[in-house]
Each structure stands twice: as C-alpha cells, then as structure tokens.
C-alpha cells in the first residue's frame, strides 16, 4: 500500500506541475 500511495502522490504532483506550466504558458502568451 505504501508504494501505491507514493505512486499516487507522484502522479498528483506531476499533474499539478503540468497544469501550472500550462497555465503559465497560457498567461504568458495572452499577456
């Protein structure tokens, strides 16, 4: 179960990082 929690945490972190990068690129291209 510890490995599953670690994998889920890494997935959530990568998704948040990707969303932040996409939002930053969108704001930068808009402004």
- Per residue in 1-31, pLDDT tens? 799 999 999 999 999 999 999 999 999 998 7
User: 0.85 cut: is pTM over it?
Assistant: no
Q: What is the DSSP string of 1-31?
A: -HHHHHHHHHHHHHHHHHHHHHHHHHHHHH-
End-to-end CA distance of the chain: 45
Q: Would you list the domain boundaries of the chain?
A: 1-31
Q: What pLDDT, on a 0 to 100 scale, did the predictor assign at position 16?
A: 99
Reported for 10-17, long-range contacts at CB under 8 A and 24+ positions apart, including other chains, are: none
What pLDDT is stored for residue 9 in this prediction?
98
Q: What is the pLDDT of residue 1?
A: 75
């Amino acid at each position: 179960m510890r490995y599953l929690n670690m994998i889920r945490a890494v997935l959530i972190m990568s998704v948040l990082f990707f969303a932040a990068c996409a939002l930053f690129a969108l704001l930068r291209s808009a402004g």
